[in-house]
Amino acid sequence: MLKELIFLIGIGLITIGIIFKIISSIGLLRLPDFYLRLHAATINAVGGTTLSIVGVAILSLVCDFLGDLRIYVFGSALAIAAIILITSPVGSHVIARAAYKSKTELPKYIFYDELRKGESNAYK
Amino acid sequence: MNFVWIMIISCLIITTFLSLYGIATRPNMIKKIVLYSTFSDVINVFIILLGYRRSLNPRVPVLHLHPTSEEIAVFEMTSVDPIVQTLVLTAIVIGLAVMLFLTFLVIQVYRLYGTIDTREIAKKSRLRG
Amino acid sequence: MLISEVLLAYSMIVITLLTLVIIFTKDLVNAVVLSAAQSIFFVIALYLLLAVDVALVYLPVAVGGYSLIFLYAIGKTERFEKVAGYSRKLIFLSVMAFMLIAALLIGMLAGGYTGWIPREVTRPLARFVLRSTINHLNKTFWTSSPEAVSATVWDYRGLDTFFEIAVFYGSIAGCLALFRFIDVVFKERPIEKADVGLSIVAKASCKIIFALIAVASASLMLHGHLTPGGGFQGGSAFSIALMVVIIPLSQYFLRGLGLEERRLMLLRSIGLTLIALLILLPAALGGYIFQNQAKLWADFGYPTIIGGFWTSGSIFFLNLFDGMAVAAGFAIIFLILSIPEECFKRLMKVKP
């Protein structure tokens, strides 16, 4: 009973991750602006990849054919999920900031521009 | 099984020829170096393929610290070739050293000639005599 | 048909297509990023071919190191390739046709008609290495390392590895010779510490990632004689960790810590000197050069266990010093690449 529940939770997390990935790839194709597309790409990493890998970690706990290795798979999958959760938002933050500061891509849809207002001292 | 191996080897050979074609015809030096890295990688994978053991469950050449003689016999008959892997390890390190020096030479060429296009460098060096 | 073979064929097809795209793209940044993606597929292929050591050395070198160095080179030179005046469709088509026929022929010949390319039985030399590397019962040729690749690198083929280290050392010396105005640059422009680097978010998270990669590379370096890994793998992974620090915190952070080119070169030379001492010590004490364990005709052997930790004779120390030397060498390369190009142009009196 418990095993089947864990199995279902793992499968469900992987499915939610795949749905996130589909949504983000539609957004990458359809969104009009560079920054909005970057947002869609980050949804892929944070929602899609992290949730899928956590699902794999939970699923590996009930995979009997892995034997004792399933603890290693669980731990390493959780570590990978944590690293992706740290790195990918920071990566898109740096990309967006670089695109804004080098003026290669200017935002089209913007209501309040904090970076331009405090250009002299706010962001170093 | 047969078809898959034919496909793998054909793809390796096609990539070898393609990267050589790119090195020969592209004028930009950095493009040449990038394609040269691809070329050396394909050759390395091919060498690794020579040492692979085509069986149902080959294993990595790593054992534990206190094996019995039966375990050593099984290890000898199922593991892949370690010598080929060390050769490729050496080849990767030497390739890295060569690639570093080539990249720095390209930067130096840009400082001296103002371009890294081989055609323009040929023109400029002819003007200089 | 095994799943690993199907995955191998898939990654090979992706590698071929990516090579085509790399040849015909005009943006060099595109080419470098696609080359890094191709390297990831090479790593997958190497892992599926059970060459875990090679995959571990390939991951930091090709995915991290090459792409960073090429991007720096593009930043210092030009970004776009001028291909006007090149219409050689006929040559390309003939090359493609020749290539397809040759590839299919060789593939079919190798894939079963004249004997298989991946054979079912390995060579006698490989079987000798696998048989004798950790054989407690017959210690005539043993190396006391359960990892056959590390044993071959540092024991059976030690002199080749020393030659490889020498080539890497020489290449770094050549790179430093091409950038020989570093001292003048920093004499003219003193180091200012404030107002450098990316935003505070990037700085904080890069410190966390630096700790993670440093721990992983230390485990690769210190366990290289027991599990897949080794000196070069650990050292190059640690150099990628240094790169993660250099980009957000700027090179002035490392220079402020005292890690300048001369000190890193000193660190590298210390590592190489210790390696040389370790391999010359047996020759002085009645053995031969690069001896690890006692043989019948040369009665000198390093201890296999020191303080309860299995060191595999000298292999543990050789891995440690090699990793130190490699990390220092990579750090030199990244530091001199991150100096702005205008300083050198002004010093070399290049016409603008």
CA distance A10 to chain C (A): 23
Question: Stretch C199-223: mean pLDDT, rounded?
Answer: 90
Cα–Cα distance for residue pair C82/B22, rounded to 1 Å: 14
Give me the residue from A83, A90, A124 closest to C201, CB to CB.
Answer: A90
Question: Stretch B117-125: mean pLDDT, rounded?
Answer: 85
Residue C193: pLDDT band (50, 70, 90) is: low
**CA distances to A47, B65, B67, C116, C131 from B70, in Å:** 49, 14, 8, 29, 11
How confident is the model at residue C88, as a pLDDT? 67
Residue A97: pLDDT band (50, 70, 90) is: confident
Which string of b and e fits C19-43 if b means at least 16 CB within 10 Å? beebbeeeebeebbbbbbbbbebbb
Judged against a pLDDT cut of 70, whether residue C124 lies above it is answered with yes
Give me the residue from C195, C199, C205 closest to A97, CB to CB.
Answer: C199
Closest CA to A90 of A25, A19, A42: A42
- Residue C66: inside a domain: no
Judged against a pLDDT cut of 80, whether residue C91 lies above it is answered with no
Give me the residue from A87, A97, A123 closest to C209, CB to CB.
Answer: A87
Q: Give chain A positions within 8 Å (CB) of C202.
A: 90, 93-94
- Cβ burial of C130 (10 Å; 0-12, 13-18, 19+) is buried
- Helix and strand numbers (H, E) in chain C are 15, 2
Closest CA to C333 of C242, C205, C269: C242
How confident is the model at residue A123, as a pLDDT? 45
CA distance C111 to chain B (A): 5
Judged against a pLDDT cut of 80, whether residue C346 lies above it is answered with no
Judged against a pLDDT cut of 80, whether residue C89 lies above it is answered with no
**CA distances to A115, C1, C218, C303, C329 from C223, in Å:** 47, 35, 8, 17, 21
Judged against a pLDDT cut of 80, whether residue C347 lies above it is answered with no
Judged against a pLDDT cut of 90, whether residue C194 lies above it is answered with no
Which ranges of chain B would DSSP assign to H, the alpha helix? Answer: 2-25, 29-50, 69-78, 82-113, 118-128
Q: Do the beta carbons of residue B28 and residue B117 sit within 8 Å?
A: yes
Whether the CB of C51 is below 8 Å from some CB of chain B: the reply is: yes
Q: Do the beta carbons of residue B23 and residue B39 sit within 8 Å?
A: yes
Judged against a pLDDT cut of 60, whether residue A124 lies above it is answered with no
B45-63 tens-digit pLDDT: 989 988 888 877 888 888 8
Chain B to chain C Cβ contacts (< 8 Å): 304
Whether the CB of B23 is below 8 Å from some CB of chain C: the reply is: no
A47-93 tens-digit pLDDT: 899 999 999 999 998 888 888 888 899 999 999 999 899 889 999 99
Q: Give chain B positions within 8 Å (CB) of C104.
A: 6, 10
**Share in percent of chain C as helix, strand, coil (round to 5):** 70, 5, 30
Residue C319: pLDDT band (50, 70, 90) is: very high
- Residue C118: inside a domain: no
**Other beta carbons within 10 Å of C178:** 15
Q: CB C205 to CB A123 under 8 A?
A: no
Instruction: Name C271's Cβ contacts closer than 8 Å, sequence gap at least 6.
Output: C321, C322, C324, C325, C328
Residue A122: pLDDT band (50, 70, 90) is: very low
- Cβ burial of A9 (10 Å; 0-12, 13-18, 19+) is middle
CA distance C227 to chain A (A): 15
- Residue C25: inside a domain: no
Residue A103: pLDDT band (50, 70, 90) is: confident
Average pLDDT of chain C is 85
How many domains in chain C?
1
Judged against a pLDDT cut of 60, whether residue C186 lies above it is answered with yes
Q: Give chain B positions within 8 Å (CB) of C35.
A: 34, 37-38
Residue B42: pLDDT band (50, 70, 90) is: very high
Cα–Cα distance for residue pair A28/A32, rounded to 1 Å: 9
How confident is the model at residue C188, as a pLDDT? 64
How confident is the model at residue A8, as a pLDDT? 93
- Identify the closest residue of chain C to A120 by CA–CA distance: C195
List the domain boundaries for chain A. 2-117
Judged against a pLDDT cut of 80, whether residue A114 lies above it is answered with no
- Identify the closest residue of chain B to C40 by CA–CA distance: B41
Residue C345: pLDDT band (50, 70, 90) is: confident
Q: Do the beta carbons of residue C225 and residue C305 sit within 8 Å?
A: no
Q: Give chain B positions within 8 Å (CB) of C125.
A: 83
Report how far apart the first and last C-alpha atoms of chain B are (Å, whole number).
Answer: 60
- Residue C70: inside a domain: no
Which secondary-structure segment (H or E) carries C310? strand C309-310
Q: Give chain A positions within 8 Å (CB) of C199.
A: 93-94, 97, 123-124
Cα–Cα distance for residue pair C21/B72, rounded to 1 Å: 47
Question: Stretch C236-254: mean pLDDT, rounded?
Answer: 87
Chains with ≥3 CB–CB distances under 8 Å to C: A, B
Q: Which residue has the higher pLDDT, C346 or C220?
A: C220
B26: tokens are: 């592209």
- Parent domain of B100: 2-128
How many domains in chain B?
1
B86: tokens are: 């060390």
Judged against a pLDDT cut of 80, whether residue B20 lies above it is answered with yes
Is the CA virtual torsion C24, C28, C29, C35 positive or negative?
positive
B41-45: list long-range contacts, CB under 8 Å, 24+ apart: B41/C38, B41/C39, B41/C42, B41/C58, B41/C62, B42/B12, B42/B15, B42/B16, B42/C15, B43/B16, B44/B88, B44/B91, B44/B92, B44/C54, B45/B12, B45/C42, B45/C45, B45/C46, B45/C49
CA distance C275 to chain B (A): 17
Cα–Cα distance for residue pair C207/C242, rounded to 1 Å: 10
Q: Which position has the token pair 């990458």? A: A28
Q: Give chain A positions within 8 Å (CB) of C206.
A: 90
Cα–Cα distance for residue pair C191/C90, rounded to 1 Å: 56
A1-58 tens-digit pLDDT: 888 999 999 999 999 999 999 999 999 999 988 889 999 999 998 889 999 999 999 9
Q: What are residue C306's phi and psi, to 5 degrees? A: -125, 115
- Report ipTM for this prediction: 0.93
Q: CB B30 to CB C99 under 8 A?
A: no
Instruction: Name C149's Cβ contacts closer than 8 Å, sequence gap at least 6.
Output: B61, B62, B82, B85, B86, B89, C53, C228, C230
Which string of b and e fits C132-156 if b means at least 16 CB within 10 Å? bbbbeeeeebbbbbbbbbbbbbbbb
Cα–Cα distance for residue pair C247/B28, rounded to 1 Å: 27
B59-118 tens-digit pLDDT: 888 888 888 989 999 988 889 999 999 999 999 999 999 999 999 999 988 888 888 888
Q: Give chain C positions within 8 Å (CB) of A86.
A: 205, 208-209
Cα–Cα distance for residue pair B105/C310, rounded to 1 Å: 44
Q: Do the beta carbons of residue A115 and residue A96 sit within 8 Å?
A: no
**CA distances to B65, B71, C71, C170, C283 from C304, in Å:** 11, 21, 44, 33, 19
- Residue C219: inside a domain: yes
How confident is the model at residue B127, as a pLDDT? 63
Q: CB C198 to CB A123 under 8 A?
A: no
**Can you give the CATH number for the domain in which B14 is found?**
1.10.287
